[in-house]
Amino acid sequence: MPININARIKNIEVDFDNSVASTHFNQNTFQQIKTRGLFLTDLRLIHCASLMYQSKLSHSLSGRIKRALLTIEPSLLNNGNGGFTFLSEDTELDKTSSEVIGVGFAVHLMHSLLEVNMNTINKIPVNGTKKRCDFEALKNGTRFIFESKGRKLNVSGAKEEIREQKTSYPANVKYGVVTNIPRIGVPCKIYVTDPEIELPKINHDYQIIALLNHYSKAARLAGFSRLSEKINNSFDEMLQKQNSTRKFEAQSFDYEDNNEGVYIKKIPVLNESFNCYFSRFLEVGLKWRLKKGNVLVFALEEHIQRILEKQDFEEMLDYSFINEDEGGYSVLSDGTLVTIISKEEAWEAMHK
């Protein structure tokens, strides 16, 4: 399949309403984004947009990434202007892809401004009312809420919807992020609006269980199915014991992580390694064949993998991978990587 993904880092302008309280933002990042905009690659946009499908595809992280790619990529333009531009499809497709594109930009923006780890950002399940928020971000016992909207037109109407949702949702902090996607070759623009600033607290066990839920899926997608199974077993037992995590702290898993006939491929980024299993038929983890034999792969940073194997919850809470994308890959702060490798690399990994 042809893939229209540009490896270059692009820029999108961000406008903050006067109502936006920046108290909780990293001030250096906030000033840079206000002045210069938000920088990311096509892969980072797709990687972040996959959170759109967290509820619908709760057991398939690979399905989320594939759905985000298939939704965003067909209308993505690479016209050399350094910004993000999109083609018009038809009315319904525009509406669907605009929503997903908006999520990608909103997640990356709030991750950057709040300095929260990507492993703490979750989609909020539907609670029986149409008026609900989209995402939560957890940091140091604080629960931030943000709403994402992608709009071809009528940014002011989207802001008004956010204002209405804020008044009906039982949360004390709320940011609204509206991405304007003109679809006429004009670059996208982000508008941030209307937060609340009183902060509810979350408990220690809640944070750990949320992280384990996240990493069980990430481990499976990187091909570490045994590790994912172990994490899920701990997760289920914690829930049965009313969310108590104390029994499991620092209790290392007893298992062999290398399965017969499977090779661990190491993908170097800076001075660290990201690991994923490769098998003869690419059936383990996310190994998606693309045009000309290239393969889209998902990998897990080696250090967070070992933290999970040791069940070192305190280190897991503190973990963050700091890196800037360099076009050929997307690395998030949770220690997950999405990249495209050549057919030669894939062949070598499959026949070790």
Per-residue pLDDT tens for 191-240? 998 755 455 567 788 888 889 989 999 999 998 888 888 888 887 777 77
* % of residues, the chain, pLDDT over 90: 30
Q: Mind spelling out the 3-state secondary structure of the chain?
A: CCCCCCCCCEEEEEEECCCCCCCCCCHHHHHHHHHHCEEECHHHHHHHHHHHHCCCCCCCHHHHHHHHHHHHHHHEECCCCCCCEECCCCHHHHHHHHHHHHHHHHHHHHHHHHCCCHHHEEECCCCCCCCCCCEEEEECCEEEEEEEEEECCCHHHHHHHHHHHHHHCCCCECEEEEEECCCCCCCCEEEEECCCECCCECCHHHHHHHHHHHHHHHHHHCCCHHHHHHHHHHHHHHHHCCCCCHHHCCCCCCCCCCCCCCEEEEEEECCEEEEEEECCCCCCCCEEECHHHCEEEEEEEHHHHHHHHHCCHHHHHHCCCCCCCCCCEEECCCCEEEEEECHHHHHHHHCC
- What's the pTM? 0.69
Q: What is the mean pLDDT of the chain?
A: 82
Label residue 96 by pLDDT band (50, 70, 90): confident
| Residue-level pLDDT at 306 | 92
| Residue-level pLDDT at 11 | 92
In tens, the pLDDT along 28-40 reads 999 999 999 999 9
| Residue-level pLDDT at 197 | 45
